[in-house]
Structure 1
Amino acid sequence: MKVWIVSLMLCAVFGLRTASGEAVVTKNEQNSKLPVEIVETKEAEEQVEDLSPADVAAKIAVEELAISERAYCPPGWINYRSRCFQIVRSAMSWLNAEKHCVSLRATLASVQNPDEQYFLQNLIASAGLPLAWIGAYNFQGTWLWIDRAGFYYSNWLSLSSVSSYPCAYMRSNAGWSNTNCASTLSFVCSINPTVC
């Protein structure tokens, strides 16, 4: 069992090297000539023998999480965790903002947790905007995200009648509010790019 886990770990390390375009390094080469990332990986390979199967599995899980959260964003987009974001300063209705995002192969941004909330608020504030559309909308009494993410996190500052004001926006210095979808605001687009 331990041999299988060590083999799995070595395959994962080898896969990381080849996926990033780095050459496979033999043991006969000197560490001083290797890039720092390869040296650290090589040292990790040597330490595998000292790890328990549970430690190896945990280490693999951490490495896979780090890889899955490394997004490669197109020029003009800002990377945050596994997604890319872009502020659009042009004021548009919620529907036209979503159409614009779709033309960029994106959607209006969903907000999945407090960290993303904080990041997006700072992004909006750094663009000099007081508020911006996000991808939340109300359909038949239920709040949904236009990107089809689960609506498990919210940060409402105020909620007006959803029948008259079914579209949500984020404030740069507070929580969310809802308003008429025909109002014109700047907005935040988001894409889930190909991850390595």
Structure 2
Amino acid sequence: MTLSEILQELFKTTATQIALSGQYQNREQVQRYCFLIVLDIATYSPRSSIMMERILLSVICLSGWHIFSSCLLHQYHYVADPMNWTEAQTYCRETYTDLATIESAEEMNQLINKVSPSGLNSEVWIGLYKYMDWRWSDNYTGPGADYRNWGSGTPGTYLCGLGYTRYHGQWWGYACSSQYPFVCNNGTQQEPEFVYVPLAMSWTNAQKYCREKFTDLATVRSDAENQAMHAMVLSPYLWFGLHIDPNSYWSDWSNSSFRHWEGASLPVGSMSVVCGVAALQNSGKWKFLQCETRLPFVCYSVPPPPVTRQIVKLRIKRGDSSVDLNDPAVKADILKQLQDRLTEKGMSGVTLKWREQPDGKVFHEEKEGSQKNKRKKSEL
């Protein structure tokens, strides 16, 4: 077996052993974690007629070789000094990484356990926030986009605009999951053409229906358009295109899909942004508060990547006895070319080193008798 074949087989075997060990189960983010391999060059035979092939290790095929890396949890840091959300965000970014992002139930429990020793049993800021500005379904921002016809005490704490025909076409904020008829626009933003749809749907389903059958849910820019919309409606209530962005965001722009909501309504009022807390008195459930509220908070940092040491033993057969494998230049050339190949494959977190024996050497000749004895033992 040639040197390149030996090493190729070695790396395949090593990768298989790593996979079977169960230590590395996530194939993603390979470059995010460091992985240290130490080559332990153990025994050699001088009798082989196979040449060292000029140490051309670049022929080693590493395609399909995966290093499995364990996903690291966030490391949380509780700060008892009360701050508003923006101040807490600034502090976390300057001192750690950012306000806490939570990506799983395990991390939620980790955050609770971090704060528990303090005895706090109320809310702490985390990295969530939400825009509360009302906008149109078709993203209209031209003249009249700011027109509103809210009834007294509205829009309240809900996220979708509901028209109330019996009260002169006044608008109310209402739960988007409620089912009502709706009005679509079958024209353009500049020249709308209202179409009444007498089917009871949630706001989201009404939006989908209008976009599939017409243009979008109706945008209303003036008293005249509001009166025209309500004049064609037979129901006392109707959906139209006004709503609040239903999405919430993390301070570090994470796209985590994990949710742990308390289920309470949102504090809308006149606020354009609300900020997220974990309510420790309610199993850390999330809700939104005014961002100017002063509260303790939780930051996160990313712990340093783990370094795993993997020892790989090789037997290299040498044909030219004049080649000194312990020559520093030869050893350096082997490592450099192996390292280059790993880098080409995107495995920049892998570091290769020789493992020296007590006498300072890496390569040691294996006597023929020793090899025969090993074969006999293996046959017993």
The answer to whether the superposition gives a TM-score over 0.5 is: yes
In structure 2, the residue matched to 1:155 is 260
**Aligned residue runs from structure 1 range 121-160, under 5 A:** 121-130=112-121, 131-140=123-132, 141=245, 142-160=247-265
**Gapped regions of structure 1 (runs ≥ 5):** 19-23, 29-56, 70-80
Equivalent AA in structure 1 for residue 119 of structure 2: G
Runs (4 or more) in structure 1 with deviation over 4 Å come to: 24-28
Partners of 1:9 and 1:159 lie apart in 2 by 54
SS at 1:101 equivalent: helix
Partners of 2:98 and 2:278 lie apart in 1 by 15
Is the contact between residue 93 and residue 182 of structure 1 (CA under 8 Å) also seen in structure 2?
yes
Q: Deviations over 1:33-92 (max 9, x none)?
A: xxxxxxxxxxxxxxxxxxxxxxxx7xx65xx323xx4xxxxxxxxxxx342221111111
Partners of 2:304 and 2:131 lie apart in 1 by 30
The equivalent position to 2:80 in structure 1, one of 76, 79, 89, is 89
Is the contact between residue 133 and residue 187 of structure 1 (CA under 8 Å) also seen in structure 2?
yes
Kindly tell me: are residues 180 and 94 of structure 1, through their superposed partners in 2, closer, same or farther at Cα, counting changes over 3 Å? same
Equivalent AA in structure 2 for residue 184 of structure 1: R
**Aligned residue runs from structure 1 range 4-153, under 5 A:** 4=8, 6-10=10-14, 16-18=36-38, 25=40, 61=67, 64-66=68-70, 69=71, 81-130=72-121, 131-140=123-132, 141=245, 142-153=247-258
Q: CA RMSD in A?
A: 3.2
Partners of 1:86 and 1:99 lie apart in 2 by 14
Shift of residue 119, structure 1, vs aligned partner: 1.4
Computing the radius of gyration from Cα coordinates, the structure with the larger value is 2
SS at 1:190 equivalent: strand
Is the contact between residue 73 and residue 107 of structure 2 (CA under 8 Å) also seen in structure 1?
no
Equivalent AA in structure 2 for residue 168 of structure 1: G
Partners of 1:26 and 1:4 lie apart in 2 by 15
In structure 2, the residue matched to 1:72 is none
SS at 1:65 equivalent: coil
Identical-pair percentage: 21
Shift of residue 195, structure 1, vs aligned partner: 2.1
Equivalent AA in structure 1 for residue 107 of structure 2: E
Kindly tell me: are residues 124 and 8 of structure 1, through their superposed partners in 2, closer, same or farther at Cα, counting changes over 3 Å? same
Equivalent AA in structure 2 for residue 110 of structure 1: T
Equivalent AA in structure 2 for residue 145 of structure 1: W
**Gapped regions of structure 2 (runs ≥ 5):** 19-34, 44-64, 133-244, 307-380
Kindly tell me: are residues 82 and 121 of structure 1, through their superposed partners in 2, closer, same or farther at Cα, counting changes over 3 Å? closer
Is the contact between residue 275 and residue 290 of structure 2 (CA under 8 Å) also seen in structure 1?
yes
Q: TM-score, normalised by structure 2?
A: 0.34
Shift of residue 154, structure 1, vs aligned partner: 1.1
Equivalent AA in structure 2 for residue 65 of structure 1: S
Partners of 1:115 and 1:7 lie apart in 2 by 34
Pick the structure with more strand per residue: 2
Equivalent AA in structure 2 for residue 138 of structure 1: K
SS at 2:248 equivalent: strand
SS at 1:147 equivalent: coil
1:179 to 2:289 alignment: yes
Partners of 1:194 and 1:166 lie apart in 2 by 33
Equivalent AA in structure 1 for residue 103 of structure 2: Q
Equivalent AA in structure 1 for residue 36 of structure 2: L
